[in-house]
Amino acid sequence: MHNKTIREAFQQASSFLKQNGIEDTLFEAEWMLRELLAVDRTSFFLMWDERLTEEQIGKYEKWVNRRAAHEPLQHIFGKAEFYGRSFRVTPDVLIPRPETELLIEQVIHLADDLFEKKPIKLVDVGTGSGCIPITFQLERSDWSISTIDLSADALAIAKQNAASHKVADKISFHQGSYLEPVRQQAVQVIVSNPPYIPSEAVLHLDDEVKKYEPHLALDGGKDGLTPYREITKQIASLPPVLKRLIAFEIGEEQGKEVADLVKQIPACSWVEVRQDMNDRDRYVV
């Protein structure tokens, strides 16, 4: 009796995932095999007819069963890709999303322009995995970056991620509510991808999100706008600065409401709702 080949394992996994309602089964069955074998796509397809070891088969079957129960692959692997880098994720933090990579991109462009590449002070509200502050610190090493989260568990993961990317002693981490921990600081850039799903709608999310991701990171209160209301209110009482940039990630139906909240910040001169890669409203800057 021979062990199964990579091709056989792939085909079995893919049809099992399909029976369990997973959509992109070919891609996912392949991704798990590449992760298992620690190879890139090119080498993977050259190994197609090699046999797996007993141990590899056991591990792969465990992963495939977890995925068939709709657990996110990022939880199964304990990591997610963001802005070309790897971040540790656990059920205590939101899995970084590609839309947030575009938030980073826009802030970098706007800030370079507005502050003429001078060192600035940036705060990120709602750290989660730490993907936002860590990416900024790696992309702009002279920025002074603070980040805040209500969850001590999330902060612990974010600090681990900062340590693996060697920026742990550059970023200041605070536990607290919205901007409270930095209320006496002259912050120039405020960024947040806060929880923005209305409480009731959280209960109707796909199992994949609802059962596995922290509701603290998803639930934005009755109408989903509570974090934007709180943050914009607190911005009004921060120490004044000459120029300030605010960038929020938002739910696709919240453009108008969030733009209205931002317009109410004293001396606000310009507000824009911007779209993500699927052309949905996703940012207010």
User: Which of residues 194 and 224 has its CB atom nearest to ligand GLN in the complex?
Assistant: 194
User: Which of residues 9 and 89 has its CB atom nearest to ligand GLN in the complex?
Assistant: 89
Tell me, what amino acid is at 270?
A: W
Which tokens go with 132? 């936002």
User: Which residue in 123, 145, 273 sits closest to 190, CA to CA?
Assistant: 123
User: Which of residues 181 and 195 has its CB atom nearest to ligand GLN in the complex?
Assistant: 195
Query: Residues 243, 217, 81, 71: what is their CA dihedral angle, to the nearest 10 degrees?
Result: -170
Tell me the closest approach of the beta carbon of residue 249 to ligand GLN, in angstroms. Answer: 7
Contact 125, 190 (CB under 8 A): yes
User: Which of residues 153 and 257 has its CB atom nearest to ligand GLN in the complex?
Assistant: 153
H or E segment to which residue 123 belongs? strand 121-125
Alpha carbon 246 to its chain's center: 18
Query: What DSSP line would sit under 31-48, residue for residue?
Result: HHHHHHHT--HHHHHHST
Tell me the closest approach of the beta carbon of residue 3 to ligand GLN, in angstroms. Answer: 39
d(CA 59, CA 138): 34
Tell me the closest approach of the beta carbon of residue 225 to ligand GLN, in angstroms. Answer: 14
Tell me the closest approach of the beta carbon of residue 29 to ligand GLN, in angstroms. Answer: 26
H or E segment to which residue 173 belongs? strand 172-175
Contacting residues toward ligand GLN, per CB under 6 A: 94, 96, 100, 126-129, 131-132, 193-195, 217
User: Which of residues 126 and 251 has its CB atom nearest to ligand GLN in the complex?
Assistant: 126
Token pair 């462009």 is found at 109
Which runs of consecutive H residues, i.e. helices, occur in the chain? 6-19, 25-37, 41-46, 54-68, 73-77, 98-114, 131-139, 152-164, 199-202, 207-210, 226-235, 255-263
Phi/psi of residue 145, nearest 5 degrees? -120, 130
Tell me the closest approach of the beta carbon of residue 8 to ligand GLN, in angstroms. Answer: 37
Tell me the closest approach of the beta carbon of residue 192 to ligand GLN, in angstroms. Answer: 7
Tell me the closest approach of the beta carbon of residue 202 to ligand GLN, in angstroms. Answer: 12
Tell me the closest approach of the beta carbon of residue 183 to ligand GLN, in angstroms. Answer: 20
The number of CA neighbours under 13 Å toward the Cβ of 159 is 13
**Residue number, nearest CB to ligand GLN:** 128
User: Which of residues 21 and 176 has its CB atom nearest to ligand GLN in the complex?
Assistant: 176
User: Which of residues 72 and 195 has its CB atom nearest to ligand GLN in the complex?
Assistant: 195
User: Which of residues 22 and 130 has its CB atom nearest to ligand GLN in the complex?
Assistant: 130
